[in-house]
Amino acid sequence: MALITNILNNAAAVAKGMSVTLVEMLQPTITDAYPEGPAKLEERYRGVHVLQRDENGLEKCVGCFLCAAACPSNCIYIEAAENTEEGRISGGERYASVYNIDYSRCIFCGFCVEACPTDAITHGHKFEIASYNTSTLVYRKEQMLTPLPADFKPLVVKQEAPSAGH
């Protein structure tokens, strides 16, 4: 009797399991077709960094080195230079004349993004950067900097004329 009960219980368990399989088979597929199609990434996905510009098209990075100091992998290399009246690159006193990230070392932890006081560095969604040549994994500023739109016109701030009569 115990044997029959055992067989019936096992058969019921198999039937229950197969019913789940059957129900799932009838559901629409949600498998991503990557790499045939684009990968679906969450908004907060941490991919290759993007160096941002402000509303005037100037680079937001002011060459303060805080991101490099916060980086646990020591993979950010920066050289800073002074802005001049003739050549203004960023909104601050200085800008990053060189800004490299070595993606053979980056662990995409986001500490650099958290440390940046000007929101100059953010994570983008680019992730297909695997390479057999590690020297190609050192990304330069020019590869990460947001391009200016073709129709970009910088904001012009009107200077108020000094009031007369005082």
Q: Please choose, out of 8-16, 17-25, 109-117, 151-159, the segment that lies near ligand SF4 by the rule CB under 6 A.
A: 109-117
Cβ atoms of 80 and 95 within 8 Å: the answer is yes
14, 18, 33, 109: which one binds ligand SF4 (CB under 6 A): 109
DSSP assignments along 47-86, one per residue: -SEEE-B-TTS-BS-----HHHHH-TT--EEEEEEE--SS
Q: Which of residues 48-77 bind ligand SF4 (CB under 6 A)?
A: 61-67, 70-73, 75-76
Minimum CB separation of residue 154 from ligand SF4 in Å reads 20
Do 94 and 63 meet the contact criterion of CB atoms below 8 Å apart? yes
111 binds ligand SF4 (CB under 6 A): yes
Count of positions (residues) in the chain = 166
Residues that bind ligand SF4 (CB under 6 A): 61-67, 70-73, 75-76, 78, 96, 101, 106-112, 115-116, 118, 120-121
